């Protein structure tokens, strides 16, 4: 299965490794995000380019800054916590600390399967739990499967595009996925249809026209 991955996505997959996906190792979502922020801090100290890209894409104080500027700032451990909080849809780290929820493991597995191009696994999971098709992430942004499909506003490492994504989106919609569900991002609430036109990755992957037809935008 061909999967389009921007350079920064590949860099983050290489840097974080299994830490991104081994959610069953953590009792709570907050425990996992703390581990991710600790790993990010290691990346800052080692001056890993992908980590600085992650920070400038999400940390509300450092949006759009260059890697050189971030290095000069002398980022602190708390900056990594704030960047992870923002990346995962929370306004501040204290919101993460107060979370007591465990992961919805089936939902996260479905997201990862979809983005890995594993439609068979997505179908298997939906056969077990039909309402999965409209469930929302337990991260602060409340993204649905369709939001993850449009590669805009979700975690940077998940902004990748398998070539069969239009087929998967069509399957989800045929089984009741709501294209008008909203996630919290960019200071507001947006549907997948609203986020798709400004999403660079489906365009770069060459599947934007197919997705636009499905989302009717």
pLDDT, tens only, 43-100: 999 999 999 999 999 999 999 999 999 999 999 999 999 999 999 999 999 999 999 9
* 155-199 per-position pLDDT tens digit: 999 999 999 999 999 999 999 999 999 999 999 999 999 999 999
**pLDDT confidence band for 41 (50 / 70 / 90):** very high
Both tokens assigned to 1: 């299965």
Pair 113, 67 in one domain? no
In sequence order, what are the residues at sequence separation of 6 or more whose Cβ sits closer than 8 angstroms to the Cβ of residue 167? 119
Domain assignment of residue 59, yes or no: yes
Q: By percentage, how much of the chain surpasses pLDDT 70? A: 100
Pair 65, 92 in one domain? yes
In sequence order, what are the residues at sequence separation of 6 or more whose Cβ sits closer than 8 angstroms to the Cβ of residue 194? 217
Pair 68, 114 in one domain? no
Pair 114, 211 in one domain? yes
Which residue reads 């940390």 in tokens?
Answer: 59
Both tokens assigned to 100: 């007591």
Helices assigned H by DSSP within 25-144: 29-45, 49-58, 67-73, 77-87, 93-97, 105-115, 119-128
Decide which of 70, 97, 124 is a domain's last residue.
Answer: 97
Both tokens assigned to 89: 């849809």
The mean predicted confidence, pLDDT, of the chain is: 97
Angle at 184 (CA atoms; ends 182, 188), nearest 5 degrees: 95
Number of Cβ atoms within 10 Å of the Cβ of 50: 21
Both tokens assigned to 182: 């909203």
3 state DSSP class of 173: helix
Here the CATH number for the domain that contains residue 147 is 1.25.40.20
Residue among 74, 78, 83 at smallest CA distance from 45: 74
Which residue reads 């507001």 in tokens?
Answer: 188
* 110-143 per-position pLDDT tens digit: 999 999 999 999 999 999 999 999 999 999 999 9
Q: 200 — alpha (psi -120 to 50), left (phi > 0) or beta?
A: alpha
- Domain holding 110, by residue range, is 105-215
pTM of the model: 0.96
Number of Cβ atoms within 10 Å of the Cβ of 25: 11
Decide which of 72, 97, 122 is a domain's last residue.
Answer: 97
Domain assignment of residue 162, yes or no: yes
The pLDDT value recorded for residue 151 is: 97
Q: How far apart are alpha carbons 128 and 145 in whole angstroms?
A: 16
**pLDDT confidence band for 1 (50 / 70 / 90):** confident
Residue among 112, 84, 90 at smallest CA distance from 22: 112
Pair 79, 123 in one domain? no
3 state DSSP class of 162: strand
Number of structural domains, the chain? 2
Length of the chain equals 217
């Amino acid at each position: 299965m061909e999967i389009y991955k921007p350079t920064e996505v590949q860099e983050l997959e290489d840097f974080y490794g299994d830490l991104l996906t081994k959610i069953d190792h953590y009792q709570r979502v907050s425990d996992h995000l703390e581990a991710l922020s600790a790993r990010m801090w290691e990346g800052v100290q080692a001056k890993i380019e992908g980590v600085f890209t992650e920070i400038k894409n999400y940390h509300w104080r450092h949006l759009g800054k260059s890697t050189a500027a971030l290095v000069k700032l002398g980022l602190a451990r708390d900056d990594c916590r704030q960047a992870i909080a923002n990346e995962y849809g929370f306004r501040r780290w204290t919101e993460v600390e107060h979370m007591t929820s465990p992961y919805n493991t089936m939902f996260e597995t479905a997201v990862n399967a979809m983005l890995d191009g594993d439609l068979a696994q997505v179908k298997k999971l939906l056969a077990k739990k039909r309402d999965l098709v409209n469930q929302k992430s337990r991260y602060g942004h409340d993204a649905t499967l369709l939001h993850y499909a449009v590669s805009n506003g979700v975690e940077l490492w998940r902004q990748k595009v398998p070539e069969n994504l239009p087929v998967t989106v069509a399957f989800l919609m045929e089984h009741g996925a709501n294209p008008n569900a909203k996630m919290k991002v960019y200071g507001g609430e947006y549907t997948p249809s609203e986020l798709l036109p400004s999403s660079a990755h489906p365009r770069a992957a060459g599947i934007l026209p197919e997705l636009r037809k499905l989302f009717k935008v």
